[in-house]
Amino acid sequence: AQSVTQLDSQVPVFEEAPVELRCNYSSSVSVYLFWYVQYPNQGLQLLLKYLSGSTLVKGINGFEAEFNKSQTSFHLRKPSVHISDTAEYFCAVSAETSYDKVIFGPGTSLSVIP
């Protein structure tokens, strides 16, 4: 079975500062990795995904993430955040053998301070 850990439940950051949201996963098989964002009163939206190939993945809204197999991590980064990035961010994983079953982490609440 797969599991996802997001160590930081809340991350406050000043506007235009860089941010990193941490994600670690556990799996006995090869996995696919994802980051989703949930804005207030909305459903989740896919930010980016890693399936294979380059370990640095670029997504929407200037976000990127790096897959590190040895550390079983998939941290999300943005060099300069905006107020509009305030949202809940979820790391997720699915196994290559059951890719329809997407397992989500507990989420990190990003608050951008003016």
Residues of span 36-75 touching another protein by CB under 8 A: 36, 41-46, 49, 51
The answer to whether 4 contacts another protein (rule: CB under 8 A) is yes
How remote is the C-alpha of 78 from its chain's centroid? 11
d(CA 33, CA 18): 22
Residue 105 and residue 94 in contact, taking contact as beta carbons nearer than 8 Å? no
The answer to whether 92 contacts another protein (rule: CB under 8 A) is yes
The answer to whether 2 contacts another protein (rule: CB under 8 A) is no
Pairing of the two strands 108-113 and 10-14: parallel
Interface ranges with another protein (CB under 8 A): 4, 32, 34, 36, 41-46, 49, 51, 90, 92, 94, 99-107
